[in-house]
Structure 1
Amino acid sequence: MKQFKILLLLGALLGFAGMTGCAATGGAKQQEKVVYHVNDSADAKGAMRNAMNHLNASPDAKLVFVTHSKGVDFLFEGAADKDGNPYNVNVEQLQAKGVQFDVCANTLTSRKLDKSKLLPGMVIVPSGVAEVAKLQAFEGYVYIKP
């Protein structure tokens, strides 16, 4: 009988804790935050299509593309896919919807790429992989690898 009372009390406390957690946010919907990890520009076209579909389904979602290695190539002026379609059109459409594009400084340095040739609005981060980790660990972003 004593164990039953302890379990009942524990259940009540956990239930109360859950209710106060909801009250703390005021029942407000939290923003969906997603990091799209691109380390090969061959995946960029599909990744941007996924992001556009994502925003069509969740218009208030906060999306960040983090690029490094060969994944930065589509973010340079004049870059085009294998069919000759320029990437900047889709990048600009996504930026207009609030999508951020992060570019790895380590990649720019190691590959001797000129950051002045990046499309407008790119955010240079010290390390692409560290940025992916930071967004997940400290800022609550969900990870997607297209």
Structure 2
Amino acid sequence: MKKHLLWMTGLLACTLSWAEIKVVYHLSEGIPQASRAIGNIRNHLAADPTAKIVVVTHGLGIDFLLDGATNQMDQPFAGGVSDLVNKGVEFRVCNNTLVSRKISADKLLMEAKVVPSGVAEVAKLQANERFVYLRP
């Protein structure tokens, strides 16, 4: 009986771990794409507050994470990013982009984490951590 119960507990744990929704939002196109993504992520979390969301940025996609960045209506991104971080969203920025664009990491919002390569981060999340890929 103990073995059967242990087996069932393990099966349930595996089932529950597969049920977790993990999504990587890939941003590389600048402010308009970032504005869409922020709205998409808010809607996503409203529908599924338990979703694990990671936003990976490179190229022009990092611009909304720069200190003082605003959207097309001149509204700062910082508040929206901070709100999403408080809901568990992670923001990752490509170091290759920072180096090639000569942007210091201290120009980023404090919520942003620098990773070696944006595209490698997206691939790692998909291949190793079973994240679903979305590109708004």
Length-normalised TM-score, structure 1: 0.82
Mapped to 2, the partners of 1:21 and 1:137 lie a distance apart of 28
User: Shift in Å at residue 114 of structure 1?
Assistant: 1.4
Q: Which runs of 4+ in 1 moved over 3 A?
A: 20-23
1:22-37 matched pairs, under 5 angstroms: 24-26=11-13, 27-28=15-16, 30-37=19-26
Aligned length: 127
Bigger radius of gyration, 1 or 2? 1
Partner of 2:70: 80
> Which residue, out of 53, 72, 96, partners 2:43?
53
SS in 2 for 1:70: helix
User: Shift in Å at residue 81 of structure 1?
Assistant: 1.2
Q: Does 1:39 align with 2:28?
A: yes
* Aligned sequence identity (%): 47
1:111-126 matched pairs, under 5 angstroms: 111-126=101-116
Mapped to 2, the partners of 1:101 and 1:109 lie a distance apart of 18
Mapped to 2, the partners of 1:51 and 1:86 lie a distance apart of 17
- CA change 1:21–1:54 in 2 (3 A) is farther
What stretches of structure 1 of length at least 5 have no aligned partner? Answer: 1-19
SS in 2 for 1:82: coil
- Residue by residue over 1:32-74, the C-alpha shift from the partner in whole angstroms, topping out at 9 and shown as x without a partner, is 1000000022200110110010001111100000000000010
1:58-137 matched pairs, under 5 angstroms: 58-137=48-127
Mapped to 2, the partners of 1:85 and 1:140 lie a distance apart of 34
SS in 1 for 2:16: coil
Mapped to 2, the partners of 1:66 and 1:93 lie a distance apart of 17
User: Shift in Å at residue 28 of structure 1?
Assistant: 2.5
CA-atom RMSD, angstroms? 1.7
Mapped to 1, the partners of 2:40 and 2:8 lie a distance apart of 33
What stretches of structure 2 of length at least 5 have no aligned partner? Answer: 1-6
